[in-house]
Amino acid sequence: MRVYCAKDYYHASRTAANIISAQVIMKQDCVLGLATGSTPIGTYEQLIKWYEKGDLDFSKVRSINLDEYRGLPADNDQSYRYFMNTHLFDSINIDKKNTFVPDGMEPDAEKACRDYDEIIRSHGGIDLQILGLGHNGHIGFNEPASAFAKGTQCVKLTESTISANARFFESMDDVPKEAYTMGIGSIMQAKKIMVIVSGEGKAEIVRRAFLGPITPEVPASVLQLHSDVILVGDEAALAEYNKDV
Ligand code: F6R
C-alpha cells in the first residue's frame, strides 16, 4: 500500500485530486468509482478548478457511485445523486448519461441490486475506486457484519445512522431506513483503490483498518488484501497509523 500523508485537509485533497487527474489523463474513458460524504468534497472542488483551467477533460469519463438511499428521488437534496450533481457533475464536462448511482426509486430491491451489478460488469469494472472511511470501518454502506458482501446489496441502516441523518430531514418519517450499496466484492475488483481520510476522528479506525486483523467486523480491513491501494490522508487522520508502521 502506498501512503501519502499531507499536512492538512486541503493538501490531502490536492493529492487525491492529482491521483484522479493522472487516471483521467492516462485513460480518457476510464471508469471512476466515486464516493459521497464530507471527505471527498475538497478533492472534487480541486478537480473542478483544474477542469476550469482547461487542464482536465471528463467528456469520455464514466463514473459509478458507491451507494444511494432507498426511496429518495434524484432531485431530493439528501440523495447521493443530488450530492454528485451539485459537488461535481454539474461543474465539469462529464456526460451525465455516463454517470451511475444506484436507483433509489426502484421498488424491487433485488432488481435494483442486479441492475447495478450489471452496470459495473458492462463497463468492464472500475479503474480507480475512491473511498471514504466510516468511523466503524464501513466502506460504501457496507457496515460491520459477520461476512463480506459480494455484490450490490440493500442494507438496513442502523438506528445510529438513522438518528444521525435525522437532522437533514423535516421529520423522522422522512429519514431513509435503507440504502443500496456496492458490495465489498465489487470494490475489491477495482483495479486501483484510493482511500481518503481526514481529521483526528478517523485516526483510530485508520490504524485498525490497515494494521489490524482482516475481519468483516471492520469492513475496510479487507483492503489489506488488494494489491493496489493508495491511502491519502492528513497528518491528523494518519497519526495512529504512522505511530505503528
Ligand atoms: C459515501 C460512503 C460512505 C462514506 C463514509 C465516510 O458514499 O459510501 O462510506 O465514505 O461514511 O464519510 P465522511 O467522508 O463523511 O466521513
Question: 204 alpha carbon to ligand 1 midpoint, in Å?
Answer: 16
Question: In the numeric block, which cell numbers belong to residue 107?
Answer: 421498488
Nearest CA to ligand 1 atom 12: 37
Q: Distance between CA 68 and CA 58 in Å, rounded?
A: 23
- Tens of pLDDT, residues 8-39: 999 999 999 999 999 999 999 999 999 999 99
What pLDDT, on the 0 to 100 scale, is given for residue 159? 84
Question: 37 alpha carbon to ligand 1 midpoint, in Å?
Answer: 4
- The catalytic residue among 127, 138, 142, 240 is 138
**Element containing residue 222 per DSSP (H, E):** none
What pLDDT, on the 0 to 100 scale, is given for residue 73? 95
Residue 25: count of CB within 10 angstroms of its CB: 12
> For ligand 1, which residues put their CB under 6 angstroms from it?
35-39, 66-67, 132-134, 138-140
Separation in Å, CA 90 to CA 44, 51, 87, 206: 11, 12, 7, 32
Q: Distance between CA 102 and CA 18 in Å, rounded?
A: 27
State which ligand 1 atom lies nearest to the alpha carbon of 138: 9
172 DSSP 8-state letter: G
Contact between residue 89 and residue 47 where contact means Cβ atoms under 8 Å apart: no
- The parts of the chain modelled with pLDDT lower than 70 are none
Instruction: For ligand 1, pick from 34, 44, 131, 158 the residue to mutate: most ligand atoms within 8 Å of CB.
Output: 131
What pLDDT, on the 0 to 100 scale, is given for residue 165? 83
Question: 67 alpha carbon to ligand 1 midpoint, in Å?
Answer: 10
Beta-strand relationship, 99-100 and 2-6: unpaired
Instruction: For ligand 1, pick from 38, 39, 168 the residue to mutate: most ligand atoms within 8 Å of CB.
Output: 39
Question: In the numeric block, which cell numbers belong to residue 97?
Answer: 448519461
- Tens of pLDDT, residues 60-73: 999 999 999 999 99
pTM of the complete model beyond 0.85 = yes
What pLDDT, on the 0 to 100 scale, is given for residue 44? 98
State which ligand 1 atom lies nearest to the alpha carbon of 181: 8
What pLDDT, on the 0 to 100 scale, is given for residue 37? 94
Burial of 201 (0-12, 13-18, 19+ CB in 10 A): exposed
Q: Distance between CA 230 and CA 221 in Å, rounded?
A: 14
Question: In the numeric block, which cell numbers belong to residue 165?
Answer: 441523518
**Element containing residue 135 per DSSP (H, E):** none
